[in-house]
Structure 1
Amino acid sequence: MDVELQILKHLARDAHPTVAIIDEYCAEYKDLFKEVRNYECFKYLHLGIISTIKRKSLPEIAKVVSINSAQSLHHFLANSDWSVEELKQRRLNKLKQILNGQTITVVIDETGDRKKGKKTDYVARQYLGSVGKVDNGIVSVNAYGVYSNITFPLMVKVFKPKGTLKEGDKYKTKIELASEIITELIEEGFNIELILADSLYGEQRVGRLCRLEATANPKGESSQFIRKLEEYNLAYVVAIRSNHGVWLPAGQSVRANKWCKFERTFSNQKSETRYIREIIYGKKRAITYWEITTDPETMPENSTSFVMTNLQGNLKKTLGDLYGLRTWVEYGSRQCKQELGWTDYRFTNFQ
């Protein structure tokens, strides 16, 4: 619209354009911002995040998008009157609209990244998967959706260690956060076909046993997370530790079936040989346990997985590909998260 006409009609000016892909994506959220300046900052942040700059801090983003100061970006995040919850809901609604009822696989993953200093909310010394040790950093529990080899983020919840809680915060374990995510996704109306998760979410909390050993357990086998999946009748494939315990009645034993060779097919359609066998605890049951490896003789630690599932049928040819999807989604999402600046931000009023 002509600028003079906008002024005469007391209409808001048009937002400055950025690049086509950013303008097209952000247009879906334009009505959530009352002021043009806030909408422009929303677009500038997206533009900066996908740029090639090394650090995705506000000052660096301001430079790359050619605005005079990072103050406007800071004001947009800290003080302007737009709703984070409305933005999240709009994004989820858009996903549901595109999926149109199609089933998705959901991958649950927790990731931790090193953070310097102590000013960022919920940073503490804790185990960080990205560095493989305890360090100063932040941890989140994430849910990714997979549809037709397309992976997309669904939800994220930041883990809040006990020593970092603020007034009004309630301590929740990572398993509790993951269980909340499942409930919220179901209540949102997503059609979930399968849940994939690592060993944190597959383990029981009643003790550990050596591999292929068992004993009796009056409390049942399922962790809180598994019980939540069963509550919603969801199919799952979750990792377990090699010393996972399964409780058996007296007189029942554990046996391992013969190894079966299969071709693990990757998303690029390349394949590699893998081996799989079922571990049977006593009698056949609804939940089954499997070992998957690249070498059944040496069972290398970094390429051997122990999984349990409630899927039924002949799983020898399919289970390896299903579980392998979790590894590649986690790896790819970790790279994207770091590229988009997850380790560069510093929030002191996290919501």
Structure 2
Amino acid sequence: MDVELQILKHLARDAHPTVALIDEYCAEYKNLFKEVRNYECFKYFHLGIILTIKRKSLPEIAKVVSINSAQSLHHFIANSDWSVDELKQRRLKKIKQALNGQAITVVIDETGDRKKGKKTDYVARQYLGSVGKVDNGIVSVNAYGIYSNITFPLSVKVFKPKGTLKSGDKYKTQIELASEIITELIEEGVNIELVLADSLYGEQRVGRLCRLEATANPKGESSQFLRKLDEYNLAYVVAIRSNHGVWMPSGQSVRANKWCKFERTFSNQKSETRYIREIVYGKKRAITYWEITTDPETMPENSTSFVMTNLQGNLKKILGDLYGLRTWVEYGFRQCKQELGWTDYRFTNFQHIERWWEIIFSVYTMISLNSPVFLGLNQSHQLETEAQENNDVDFSNHPQWNHESGWKNTLNNLRLIIQPLLLFWLIYPWLSIFPNSDLLLGFNHLIATMNQFKPYYASG
């Protein structure tokens, strides 16, 4: 009976606090975890993954968040009872609430990461974007959102090569996975104003699209993705390969309009000169084709794009900047992989890998929602910020505080906020050997001050 009471007491206890900005973000996920220790691990992952650990392995995370053993973190990933889908839906809900109805750009991108051996699920020899060649690794299709040049993760689906399928698996191309992601985002109520994608999702559509007007309707898997966008009346800009031909009725010809110079504006408001021209295949159509380059004379391969779009209007002024947003997803995903440890898992079971990826996405979302762009969308945060300033708590006076508004700038500042707690955990064992009440009091006061940094998280 005493054992049962102890278990009930353990289950009923409150989760140990970390820092306010993480505790408040994670609070809306609390009821997804049946046991308090699993909820604590969820918070510890957010605390550890955000740090500047070279490799986000479970032992390293356990060490910095003051857990005696990495086994509890491994149990949370491998054995505890929680749903990736429920966590994802809750995360998307938080993003929608934070956006407060604002429309976003969605970028579809596939990524591949090298993995040794053959034991990891869905690893095969295939093209890996991270190394630019065929190698042994795992590939996923990812959707990222962009709002005011801040990237945030939406969804990820693993690509399962035919030779790796398990019982119950159905082979789906990367095109099909991308189409599924678009449908799921629409069903979740995400307000999408534009979709950007690379040549994988547009290249086979070119010839077939124009052939529709002349003869039959040959079906290709790439056209499936664009048909899905058409189904939802979504605007898009997708890359195509420059060597793709477009089928036209006899008597029509291809013409390239004159190059027009424009200023490509970047997120830091700096600009560079680019050139754009329309390629017209026969008669003008609702879908148009464009070349964008840094040098119209030499057409350098690494800075020349051939794109198609269903956007209308004066595209010479906007298309270059719009398609340039694709680089933000690639940049954003590199941030995710490098800063947050996307590939640092040592699991072979995909169910465990999927959990790891969704936790990484949750941490990534937490950082994005703390950016000035998102915080500025909510008036209540502005009022709270004013109240903090009235109390003379100005965190931005720290000499390492970054005053710019980008994602990495936000990450830098959040790392500064959680620094005192981590330093306290590091030094606390020595205080039991060499007691110092002044030092202990000072740390408590500093940590309490850090907990006044409470960014607004939308809740519903």
Q: Flag the structure with higher strand content.
A: 1
Q: CA deviation at 1:209?
A: 14
Comparing 19-28 with 282-291, greater Cα deviation is found at 19-28
Distance 1:10 1:116, change over 3 A: closer
**1:131-182, Cα deviation, whole Å (9 max, x unpaired):** 1111111111010111122211111101111111111111111000000000
Change (3 A) 1:130 1:264: same
Q: Deviations over 1:4-59 (max 9, x none)?
A: 99999887222122233222211121121121110111111112211111111212
Q: 1:25 to 1:10 in 2, by over 3 A?
A: closer
| TM-superposed deviation, 1:118 | 2.5
State the Cα distance separating 1:116 from its structure 2 match.
Answer: 2.2
1:200-255, Cα deviation, whole Å (9 max, x unpaired): 00111698999999999766997111111111111000011111222100110000
Q: What does residue 233 of structure 1 align with?
A: 233
Structure 2 distance, partners of 1:26, 1:196, is: 31
Is the alpha carbon distance of 1:333 and 1:214 closer, same or farther for their aligned partners in structure 2, counting shifts above 3 Å? farther
Q: Is the 8 A contact 1:165 1:171 kept in 2?
A: yes
Output the CA distance in 2 between the equivalents of 1:174 and 1:154.
Answer: 16
Matched-pair contact (CA < 8 Å) for 1:58–1:73: yes
Q: Deviations over 1:304-336 (max 9, x none)?
A: 000000001110010000000111222222232
**Take 2:221 and 2:15, find their aligned partners in 1: how far apart are those partners?**
56
The 1:309/1:3 distance shift into structure 2, 3 A limit, reads farther
1:8–1:152 Cα change, 3 Å? closer
TM-score (norm 2): 0.71
Verify the 8 A CA contact 2:201 2:226 in the aligned structure 1.
Answer: yes
The question of whether the paired residues in 2 share the 8 Å contact of 1:209 and 1:244 is answered with no
Q: Aligned partners of 1:4 and 1:183: how far apart in 2? A: 47
Q: Matched residue pairs, number?
A: 351
- More deviation, 23-32/214-223: 214-223
Q: Could you say if the C-alpha distance between residues 212 and 175 of structure 1 is closer, same or farther in structure 2, counting changes exceeding 3 Å?
A: closer
- 1: CA distance, partners of 2:206 / 2:266: 36
Q: What residue is the counterpart of 1:318 in the other structure?
A: 318
Could you tell me how far apart the structure 1 residues matched to 2:26 and 2:20 are?
10
Bigger RCO of structures 1 and 2 (CA < 8 A, at least 6 apart): 2
> Could you tell me whether the CA contact under 8 Å between 1:207 and 1:245 is conserved in 2?
yes
Assess, with a 3 A threshold, how the Cα gap between structure 1 residues 282 and 206 changes in structure 2: closer, same or farther: closer
Question: SS of the residue aligned with 1:11?
Answer: helix
Q: In 2, Cα distance between the equivalents of 1:292 and 1:215?
A: 30
Instruction: Say if 2:274 and 2:293, in contact at 8 Å, map to a contact too.
Output: yes
| Distance in 1 separating the partners of 2:206 and 2:243 | 12
- The secondary structure found in structure 1 opposite 2:111 is strand
Answer whether contact 1:210 1:245 (CA < 8 A) is retained: no
In structure 2, the partner of 1:83 is 83
Moved over 4 A (4+): 1-11, 205-222
Using the aligned pairs only, state the percent identity.
93
Task: Name the CA shift for 1:307/1:3 in 2 (closer, same or farther; >3 Å).
Answer: farther
The TM-score, its normalising length taken from structure 1, stands at 0.92
Superposition pairs for residues 110-125 of structure 1, below 5 Å? Answer: 110-125=110-125
Moved more, 338-347 or 166-175: 338-347
| Unaligned residue ranges in structure 1 (runs of 5+) | none
Q: Which moved more, 1:255-264 or 1:214-223?
A: 214-223
Shift, 1:119, TM fit: 2.6
The CA RMSD over aligned residues, in Å, is: 3.8
Aligned to 1:289, what secondary structure does the other structure show? strand
Would the alpha carbon gap of residues 2 and 243 (structure 1) be closer, same or farther in structure 2, given more than 3 Å must change?
farther
Q: Which is richer in helix?
A: 2
